[in-house]
Every structure is written in C-alpha cells, then in structure tokens.
Chain A
Amino acid sequence: MNEKLKNLRILKWLSFNYGIYWYRFRKNKLSIIGLSIIITFVLMAVFAPWIAPYPSSAGLYTNFAQALQPPSSIHLFGTDEMGRDVLSRVIFGLRYSFSLVGVVLSITVLPGVVLGLIAGYYLNRWFSVLIMRLTDIFVAIPPLLLALSVASLLKPSEINAMMAVTVAWWPWYTRLVYSNTSSLRNEDYVKAAELLGASPFKIMFSEILPNQIGSILTKVSLDAGWVILIGASLSYVGLGAQAPTPDLGTMISEGSIYLPGVWWISIFPAIIIVLIILGFNLLGDGIKDMFSTSIR
C-alpha cells in the first residue's frame, strides 16, 4: 500500500505542471532567442572536436605560411599569427568559458544560498550578523578587482582562475537569499509552520526556499554572463588559460597588438563573448517570466 503511494507520488512530481512554465517562458520571443543562442554555443563547445574545421589549431600547431590570413571561405574567421584557424580556436575556447561557468556557479550557489537562509531566518542573532558583515566585506569590492587580486597571488592557470572567480562570487547569493528570506519569514504559512512546531531547518528548506527558486535561478542565468566576462578579463591579462590553450580572453589580448589592420583575431572572440552574455541575459529574463505568477 505504501509502495503504491510512493510510486504515485513520484509520478505526480514528474508530471508537475511544466506546461505553464514553458508557456510563460515562450511568451516573450526574446527569451526564445536567448535560449537558442545558449543552446547553440553549449552544443558547439561539447562537440568542438567534431565541429571545428581545423581541430589541430586548438593545440600546438604552427603554419606560418598561413599566418594572419583574413577571413575567407577556407578560414571563416581568418588565421592568427601562428597560422591557426581562429574559428576553431574560438569553438574550443567556448569549452573553457562554459566550464568556468559550470564550476563557479555550482560551487558558489549552494553555500551562498544556505548562508543566506540562515542569516535571513535568524535575523539579529550573532551568527546572522557575522555572516552578513562578512558578505558585506566581499560585496564592497568589485568582483573583477577581487578576482584579479586573488588570481595574481596564484600561479596562472585555468583552475586557479576559476578559484579566483569563485571567491569573488559567493556573497551575492547570500545577499539575495537573505533579502528574500527575511521577507518570506513573515508570511502566514511560515508562522503556521512555526506554531505547529516544525524545526527551523524544515522551515528554512521546506517552506521558505521553494518560494525563492525563481529568483535564484534567474540570478544564476544572469550571473553566467558576468562570470564569462570576468573569466575573459582574467585571461586578457594573462591570468587564465595559458598558451597554447585557446581562450576567448587570451585571443583578444594576443590579437590586440595587430589592431586595427589585422582585426579578426581580436574582434571575433569579442563578438562571441557579447553574444553569449546577451544570450544569458535574455534567458535570465525568460526564467524570471517563468516564475512570475502574474502572467496568465
């Protein structure tokens, strides 16, 4: 009997009304565009070795005969100073960008949310004040500056760049969740749960958190754009991926000495970064609409 009920409940959870979320999302054409952009780029990053026309350009490859060629039908984005195909390097560079987003957000979101819940629920206790003052310190420093400082202390590498951005990033989630939690905790249903005798842990995770998921997911999407930008900025100053690993920021930096005559080495990666950020922003708008109950 209990077994059957358990299965029924799993089915109910799965058939949870995804329909209306998609309806709200697709109401705005721009959100669909954002989603398409991101899906396209993610797929390109995943299938890079098969999509890139010259996969060897992503590694140690030199072909000085073909160096500094402008965009043409054989090299859509032209070649760089080593003769490597810029398009292929851009596609491989996407891998680093997206893995940066994945790592940073998966490490920062969870602790940030938990700390925000605790601080927002137990307002005015010593540990809440401690958490929020600590958050304030980090938030007071612009994320780029903080990431640069941390990265410069470490040996330049992809992993260390990811660590640097992570350090700069966690307090923003704490702030968001703190702000949501401190207003949600006054809702009647939270009071009802407290009066029933539910433990604070259960109240925080089972009553308060589900009502902020939309807000958190929207921020995750918008943040993804920022993370990519900061990652590219770190690489631009040489603190990220090292040669010969292709990276959008590094490519902009290396190609900048050839500007403005040989423009394609810097400009194409820059355009791609702009498109990715635009995509995440439009996607973020769509996610916000998804959870917005006023849309019918």
Chain B
Amino acid sequence: MDTILELRNLKKYFKTKRGIVKAVDDVNFEIKENEIFGLVGESGSGKTTVANLIMGIYLPTSGEIKYKGETIFKLAQKRPKWLKKEIQMVFQNPASSLNPKKTVRQILELPIKIHRPDVPIQKTIYDLLEKVDLPTDYADRHPDELGGGEKQLIAIARALATEPSFILLDEPTSALDVSVQGKIINVLLKIREEYKLTYLFITHNLSLMSNVANRVAIMYLGKIKELANVDEFFKNPMHPYTQMLLSSIPVVSDEEEKLKPKKIVSTGEIPGALNIPPGCSFHPRCPFVMDVCKTKDPDLKDLGNNHYVACHLY
C-alpha cells in the first residue's frame, strides 16, 4: 500500500509571553492508503496540534508534511483547490461545527458548489443524506432540531461532499452518548469501504480505538511514545505510559478487566506544556525511571513487527 500522508520531523512551537510551548516536538509517522490510523493522547499531548497542522490551520515551525508525495506547506486558505478537496475534517463537537442559522441543505450546498459545480446539487444532497443513513427530509431542518448523533452524521456528510481521499476525525464520538456512537462509527466504516478512504482517527477512548484502528500511535507532551499495529498495541504495550493509560481505563465487564495490563497507579499531574521535564518528558511519573531518563530523551526504536517505542528500558 502506498503512503498517503507523511509527517517528517514535524515541530510546532508557540511563542507565548511565559515561554515557548513545544506543542509538537519532532513527530514522524506515515499513514498508508485506506488504513485507519489511530492517534491517542491526553490533554497537552499535541494530538490536536498535529491535526491542525495537517489541516493547515497553522504552519509548522520546522519539518514537513507530504500528501501523496507532494509537500504541503501553505495555510489552509492558500492551498491549491485540489488539496482542499482531498483532505477533510470532522470536528469533535457536532453542535458547534454546524452553523445554527443554516439549514442542512445550505450546509451541504457549500462544499458541493465550491468543489463539484457541475453535479446536480439537490440530488447530490439527497444522495449524501442517504449515504449517512439519514432520511432525506432532514435537508430542510436546522441543526438545533437534530440530536447530537444526527448532527455528527451531517458533519460527516459535509466532509464526504467534496469526494475526499483522506478524512481527519478529531474525537468524532466523544461528545455523543454511547448508544449513538455505534451508529456513527458504523457509518464511518461503511463509507470508508465504499469510497476507499483513509482515516486519521484521534480519540482518547481506548476501548473504541481497539475496535476501529489498524495502527495506533500514542503521544505525550508533543512526542510519539509508542507506535504499533492495533493488536500488538493492546496486547503487548511496551511503554510505561501506555501501560499506565491502559490500566486506568474504565471497562464494563470482568472479561475486559483481565485484558488490561497490570495496574500502574497513575500519579502526579500532566505537566503544563511550559514545564516539560528534561530528558524523557514522562520521567517524573514513570514507575520504572532510571538515571538516564532524567537527562536523555529516548529516540523511537524499532522493536520489530512494526512496533516502535521511545523508552530507555529497551
């Protein structure tokens, strides 16, 4: 499979009055065509900044992003039209990602008119609604008449309207009830099959990630700490942070409890981005900390079987 998106030595530092915030600090990974790549991290990890860099909301401080082999280095609004069409995004909060003063029809018209001016607009709108399993009479409703799950389906339909190849999903179900999440995820999986899409799936819900992603990367304070195929990631987590995270997730059955790694009690706060500890940024909270961890930042090592870890233990 070809690589569709590649991040090389990507850095994004923000200058603030109180210091430099290293939101993304030397991130490297590739996403292959038609795969679902999962990105996990808590607040301050940099996963949202990575998403914003890919979408062109910011420019990187250094490093490059390549889409289908071409380096993209412009802000979203200055990008070539073909690129704007190719990469789309679904936001976390469905309520705020849809303009409350517009009807569903008007919301869906916008991308069609810009990127596909020669297709019959109304018919395309109805087709999109059918693709996301919504009745076509929703076209004349306003977002505030719809439930959270339905709003998110509209957001997905809007992303689909430009016929993209790559969709960035930033916590698409985190704001939704659990009984509705399933519908959204299934729609996403269905359209991915049908349109041969690639997804970058960002979420903090590890149980969901284990069912959806093909490969998973975990970020902490701007760096990738572990990257592996999904089965490896969950059955054999190597990095202490991954283990800590997995052992803390709440599950609903005893069978799942047995699948979690041995309990590593999470301690301490996630440091603010201005006070990133020297050496390995996780060392103040790490139960296996060694002297070298306090001074030297570990590189991402290849442990074989597509499993990479950034930890001095290995």
Contacts and interface: CB of A to CB of B under 8 A. Distances in A.
Interface stretch (B29-37, B98-106, B259-267): B98-106
Contacts of B298: none
B133 interface: no
B118 to A, nearest CB: 15
A140 interface: no
B96 A189 contact: yes
A188 B55 CA distance: 13
Interface in A1-54: 2, 5, 12
A194 B79 CA distance: 11
Contacts of B85: 197
A110 B101 CA distance: 20
Contacts of A200: 77
A207 B122 contact: no
Interface in B129-172: 140, 155, 158, 162
A192 B97 CA distance: 7
Contacts of B122: 2, 5
A188 B97 contact: yes
B189 interface: no
A194 B98 contact: no
A194 B162 contact: no
A177 to B, nearest CB: 16
Given A12-B140, A210-B101, A196 B162 contact: yes
B274 interface: no
A192 to B, nearest CB: 5
Interface residues of A, number: 20
Contact of A188 (B93, B110, B140, B162): B93
A198 interface: yes
Given A5-B122, A187-B96, A197-B84, A192 B114 contact: no
B67 interface: no
B97 A189 contact: yes
Interface in B30-83: 55-57, 76-77, 81
Contacts of A207: 99, 102
Nearest to A13: B103
Contacts of A197: 77, 81, 84-85, 111, 114-115
Contact of B114 (A12, A198, A206): A198
B310 to A, nearest CB: 31
A247 to B, nearest CB: 41
A202 to B, nearest CB: 8
Nearest to B84: A197
Nearest to A212: B101
Contact of A189 (B98, B103, B111): B98
Interface in A196-254: 196-198, 200, 202, 206-207, 210-211
B96 A188 contact: yes
Contacts of B99: 189, 193, 207, 210-211
A187 B93 CA distance: 11
A191 interface: yes
Interface residues of B, number: 29
Nearest to B143: A189
B97 A196 contact: no
Contacts of B98: 189
B88 interface: yes
Given A195-B88, A196-B84, A211 B101 contact: yes
Contacts of B91: 188, 191-192
Contacts of B115: 196-197
B15 to A, nearest CB: 15
B106 to A, nearest CB: 8
B110 A196 contact: yes
Contacts of A210: 99, 101-102
Contact of A195 (B81, B89, B100): B89
A211 B115 CA distance: 25
A287 to B, nearest CB: 17
B110 A195 contact: no
B89 to A, nearest CB: 6
Nearest to B83: A197
Nearest to B96: A188
A187 B115 CA distance: 23
A197 B162 CA distance: 10
Contact of B110 (A5, A12, A187, A198): A198
24 contacts: A5-B122, A188-B91, A188-B96, A189-B97, A191-B57, A192-B91, A192-B97, A194-B76, A195-B56, A195-B76, A195-B84, A195-B88, A196-B88, A196-B114, A196-B115, A196-B158, A197-B81, A197-B84, A198-B114, A200-B77, A207-B102, A210-B99, A211-B99, A211-B100
Given A188-B91, A193-B99, 15 more contacts: A5-B122, A188-B97, A189-B97, A189-B98, A189-B99, A195-B84, A196-B84, A196-B111, A197-B77, A197-B111, A197-B114, A206-B102, A207-B99, A210-B101, A211-B99
